[in-house]
């Protein structure tokens, strides 16, 4: 089985088990926390993924390390994960799991890139317009980027809509060069 299929399968199994036990949000927080820690520390990632350390010793070490970050339920979930997932792909599994969470709730994250931060009124208008088009709940993250010169770039789920002035000028330049 290739890595992408393993990652998809791991995320789907985790989501299914967490949902069945009504701990989807708890699982989400725990996966994100572990993903952040393992991304910032190669030693921690190696510790999680190595087969040389016995599971009971890993559990004890993880309890000592994570007891101030995760609650007991989350620690129990981490211990269950020790048996079932490849921690070398934890970041990808977490990303896929978060996507499954969003899809199950009908929620979509939108990133709006503009030259300047949008006002609350502009954000609420944008949110209303996007919500009316896709018929799903929307949350918007507004990012300011002077490089786009003007207009807006939207990332709605996996779709990128580029209405930036920079892109329009690049397209105009290409059409002039090609003539």
- Cα separation, 167 vs 179, in Å, equals 19
Domain hosting residue 114, numbered range: 106-177
Asked if 74 and 135 sit in the same domain, the reply is no
Tens digit of each residue's pLDDT, the chain (179 residues): 588 888 888 888 888 888 888 888 888 888 888 888 888 988 988 888 888 999 899 999 988 988 887 788 778 878 888 877 888 888 999 989 888 888 888 788 899 999 999 999 999 999 999 999 888 888 899 999 999 999 999 998 778 999 999 999 999 999 999 87
Strand spans (E) along the chain? 107-114, 137-144, 151-156, 159-164
**% pLDDT > 70, the chain:** 99
- Cα separation, 80 vs 84, in Å, equals 7
The encoded tokens of residue 120 equal 């609350």
Out of 103, 138, 163, a domain closes at 103
Cα first-last separation, the chain: 48
């Amino acid at each position: 089985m290739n890595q992408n299929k393993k990652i998809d399968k791991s995320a789907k199994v985790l989501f299914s088990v967490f949902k069945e036990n009504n701990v989807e949000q708890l699982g989400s927080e725990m996966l994100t926390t572990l993903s952040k820690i393992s991304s910032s520390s190669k030693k921690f990632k190696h510790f999680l993924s190595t087969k040389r350390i016995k599971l009971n010793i890993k559990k004890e070490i993880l309890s000592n390390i994570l007891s101030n970050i995760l609650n007991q339920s989350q620690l129990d979930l981490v211990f269950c994960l020790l048996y079932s997932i490849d921690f070398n792909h934890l970041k990808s599994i977490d990303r896929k799991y978060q996507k499954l969470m969003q899809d199950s709730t009908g929620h979509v994250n939108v990133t709006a890139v503009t030259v300047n931060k949008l006002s609350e009124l502009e954000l609420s208008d944008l949110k209303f317009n996007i919500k009316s088009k896709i018929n799903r709940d929307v949350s918007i993250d507004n990012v300011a980027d002077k490089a786009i010169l003007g207009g807006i770039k939207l990332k709605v789920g996996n779709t990128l809509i580029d209405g930036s002035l920079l892109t329009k000028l690049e397209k105009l330049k290409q059409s002039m060069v090609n003539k």
